[in-house]
Amino acid sequence: METAELQQKLEALEKAFSMAGTINAEIFYWWCTALMITIHAGFLAYEMGASRSKNALASGVKNILAFAFVIPTFFFFGWWIYLAFPTGFTISEAGADGLPWAMKMGPNLTDNATGVFWAAFALFAATTASILSGAVIERIRVSGFVILAVFLGSVVWILGASWGWHPSGWLTTEWGFHDTAAAGCVHMIAGFFTLGVLLNLGPRIGRFGKDGSVTEMPGHNLPMSLIGLMLIIVGFFGFLGGCIIFVNGDQWVTIFNTPATLSAFAFNTLMGCVGGILGCYLTTRDPFWMMSGALVGIISAASGLDMYYPPLAFLIGFVGGCIAPQVNKLLIKLKIDDAVGAVAVHGVGGLWSVIAAGIFIAGYPNVAEGAPPVSFMGQLGSAVVFALLGFIPGWVLSYVLKKLGLLRTSNGAEVAGLDTAEIPARAYPEAYNPPSRPFPAE
């Protein structure tokens, strides 16, 4: 009898520990998701500040709408795409778990994981739309932007994630691809998608003169932009936390099932971040690019975040910080008007991150059975796939929207300001309605 009672107590204790671990995992991803919302607060502030005052609210509204449209569309078909297409374009049976009417896609006391994982991925999806949002400010139609944001956030990037950021993704199982913190499938795809859109959208009126001159169009509130960029960095810690798999009672792992720790992430995130700041500082002295360099540095170190020696993460971030402003200058020479440098920061930063992993962690074994080890050619080939997967849909869809008259606002609305044309509010009402008489002297 005593033995049976002891056995029951041990089983009850084991169940309690198991449930505690499950709850801890839920709490971990819950707060990762909450922190990721800070990313969108940051994008909101930084893009509003980077806009001229006549466009400030229109830039903010685009971010709000991107968030509002991407979340439900990611529920209805984005998560299904991730689960259904890891082997290419053949639909996997596992995709059934991501259908909106599936048992796992709602309240279920026996499933403590799907909702929090879906939420983290949904916030990744919204981030891709925000990357696009900054580059196209001050001249894109809201309707066209929403269509592009949904397609990027709930179709394009998540297909890339299924291929290269899934335990069974074909880029990993066939080419040995490794990208711990999604520099490729999030940042690179979004950056190249944005490049495709910019080619059809065209520059802001007056940005480039017929004589080849370039007119600077600074935002109306640089401090707001700097604060917004810093908020994005805060949110990055939630983003990166969501890139690690919480394993109850055992070693945590990456999405590729390779060992990982938050300690390694902390070392390399901060070292990459400041490396990027210093790289941009030495090449530009521009505060906006210094804070953008922090993003470049984190993205540059992201692919090998779990394995780099911290000084190496610093060096990789520093190189990324030196490269990004020069790429943006090249785009300007090509008369491509990226208002916030999103293509250089996210697209090229993500490209450098994926390639750097091929240089510095080549030979690292993959856990997937039969998968080749990490290699330079595997990383380079995967980077080409991501570049094409981002650029081609971005160019084609924006071209169609352009032909339908849904891509760009009218010249009159652009000159007057999108706030006047589209927003029933004023960012700075006192500037439009000055007092009828001077205030009395004190």
The first and second tokens of residue 373, run together, are: 């080890």
Average of per-residue pLDDT values in the chain: 91
Express each pLDDT in 177-224 by its tens digit. Answer: 999 999 999 999 999 999 999 999 999 999 999 888 999 999 999 999
Express each pLDDT in 247-259 by its tens digit. Answer: 877 888 898 888 9
pLDDT of residue 24 exceeding 70, the answer is: yes
Least confident of 21-30, 39-48, 72-81, 353-362: 21-30
pTM, entire model: 0.93
Mean pLDDT of 229-236: 95
Q: In this structure, which topology does domain 24-85+113-204+221-411 adopt according to CATH?
A: Ammonium transporter fold (1.10.3430)
Residue 366 is classified by DSSP as: P
Mean pLDDT of 393-420: 96
Residue 442, pLDDT score: 42
Domain boundaries along the sequence of the chain = 24-85+113-204+221-411
Cα separation, 219 vs 44, in Å, equals 13
Helices vs. strands in the chain: H and E counts, helices first: 18, 2
The closest alpha carbon to 83, from 97, 73, 69, 70, belongs to 97
pLDDT of residue 434 exceeding 80, the answer is: no
Cα separation, 381 vs 358, in Å, equals 10
Mean pLDDT of 153-179: 94
Express each pLDDT in 315-354 by its tens digit. Answer: 999 999 999 999 999 999 999 999 999 999 999 999 999 9
Cα separation, 125 vs 146, in Å, equals 13
pLDDT tier, 129 (very low <50, low <70, confident <90, very high otherwise): very high
